[in-house]
Amino acid sequence: MITMIWAMDENWLMGDNNLLPWHYPEDLAFFKKITENKTVLMGRKTYESLKHYYRDKPFPYQKNYVLSRNPDLKLPDATVITDLQPFLNELKEDLYVIGGSIVYDLIMPYADRLYITYILKRYQGQTYFKSFDLSQFKCVHKTMLPELIIATYERIPK
């Protein structure tokens, strides 16, 4: 199963200079609950952003994969993936996609589940989620909070 998780504001903004433009403890706790001790896939910029937050601490994930176009990229705590299709074909475990925008765009056709935190405000930044067809998914759970909606979607079988 491939699961994607992200937060975005009313304009589908996701990031500002490789950081979150907001701070919502409820969203961070939800993200941690869903991804902790899981196998994750992220892009290089998301990896660098997480390094900013975790500094010298290890990531709280079971396995870390980083998708990159750079075949020479070496990371001490992640496996670098340069060819997505063979990686997905050989995948034998659940995968949690945690960013960034290019990785989300590439993985969306394969996603089985989406966890989306809708931030009910507008923020400033430069990284936006690309539009996609949510009609291919069914909302199976929704939590309403004062400035957030946390929704879970599952792909509708064809």
Q: Which domains, ranges and CATH numbers included, belong to the chain?
A: 2-155 (3.40.430.10)
Question: In the prediction, which pLDDT does 158 show?
Answer: 82
The pLDDT tens digits of the residues spanning 59-93 come to 999 999 999 999 999 999 999 999 999 999 999 99
Q: 103-119 burial by CB neighbour count: b if 16+ within 10 A, else e?
A: bbebbbeebebbbbbbb
Question: In the prediction, which pLDDT does 129 show?
Answer: 95
In the chain the first and final C-alpha atoms are separated, in Å, by 16
What's the one-letter identity of residue 74? K
Full-model pTM = 0.95
Q: Please identify every stretch of the chain with a pLDDT value under 50, giving residue numbers as ranges.
A: none
